[in-house]
């Protein structure tokens, strides 16, 4: 996934602007995919290859050696085809894709230390391009005061922009929506410090 320095800066600036109005910390992660789906694509390649010998035995006079070679070559061809990430993703059911995106988001919540903020007021915006999925994971203090439905606007704005092929624009819009929701419940007071507990940047994985 190619994200230019200018696009990185656009998201970083959006985070900085949003955090000027709230005590909360916003962390943004953009993932190319939430999983390799190796179990699906290797399994599919194996099943397709295993199905090859039967019609060859029934309808041809090929030797066992040639049938085995055909099976092997087809397995390698299927594996090569499944190296194309969008095809691998499509092999997985929609519910499984969402489940893997949630697991990956939870992992990033830990890796990016979102919960290690004063007052537990960090929030993760996780975007998985291959799964076409966006998730908002608030820390406990935020979850206690802001209902999950409040993040719907952020996700809707991101998905609408992504559908137009403007994923970075969508990330910026989602950050702005998250910032507005956070500022309403966790406004920045005049005496609050300006130190960022988490870097204002787009994490691309």
Quickly list DSSP for 2-21: ---HHHHHHHHHHHHHHHTS
Q: Is it the case that residue 113 has pLDDT exceeding 90?
A: yes
Nearest to 138 by CA among 176, 105, 95: 105
pLDDT tens digits, residue range 125-182? 999 999 999 999 999 999 999 998 899 999 999 999 998 999 999 999 999 999 999 9
At 158 the pLDDT is 95
Q: What is the dihedral of CA 84, 85, 90, 94, to 10 degrees?
A: 170
At 38 the pLDDT is 82
At 46 the pLDDT is 84
Length of the chain: 205
Beta-bridge partners for 26:
123
At 95 the pLDDT is 93
At 123 the pLDDT is 97
The neighbour count for residue 35, using CB atoms within 10 Å, is 21
Distance CA 46, CA 67 (A): 15
At 194 the pLDDT is 62
pTM attached to this predicted model: 0.82
How many Å is the Cα radius of gyration of the chain? Answer: 23
Q: Is it the case that residue 104 has pLDDT exceeding 90?
A: yes
Both tokens of 120, joined, read: 């537990």
Cα–chain-centroid distance for residue 4? 18
pLDDT tens digits, residue range 28-86? 999 999 998 888 778 877 888 888 888 888 888 889 899 889 888 988 888 887 788 88
DSSP state of 188: P
At 35 the pLDDT is 93
Q: Determine the average pLDDT of the residues in 175-192.
A: 90
Q: Is it the case that residue 121 has pLDDT exceeding 70?
A: yes
Locate tokens 């300006």: which residue?
Answer: 194
């Amino acid at each position: 996934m190619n994200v230019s320095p200018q696009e990185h800066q656009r998201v970083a600036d959006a985070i900085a602007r949003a955090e000027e109005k709230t005590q909360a910390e916003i962390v943004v992660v953009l993932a190319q995919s939430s999983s390799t789906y190796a179990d699906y694509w290797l399994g599919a390649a194996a099943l397709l290859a295993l199905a090859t010998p039967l019609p060859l035995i029934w309808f041809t006079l090929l030797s066992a050696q040639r049938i085995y070679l055909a099976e092997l070559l087809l397995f390698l061809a299927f594996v090569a085809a499944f190296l194309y990430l969008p095809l691998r993703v499509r092999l997985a059911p929609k519910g499984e894709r969402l489940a893997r995106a949630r697991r990956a988001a939870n992992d990033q919540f830990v890796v990016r230390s979102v919960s290690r903020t004063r007052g537990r007021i960090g929030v993760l915006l996780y975007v998985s391009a291959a799964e076409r999925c966006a998730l908002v994971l608030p820390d406990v203090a935020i979850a206690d005061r802001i209902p999950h439905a409040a993040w719907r606007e952020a996700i809707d704005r991101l998905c609408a922009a992504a559908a137009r092929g403007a994923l970075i624009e969508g990330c910026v819009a989602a950050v702005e929506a998250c910032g507005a929701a956070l500022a309403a419940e966790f406004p920045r007071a005049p005496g609050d410090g300006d130190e960022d507990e988490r870097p204002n940047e787009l994490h691309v994985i």
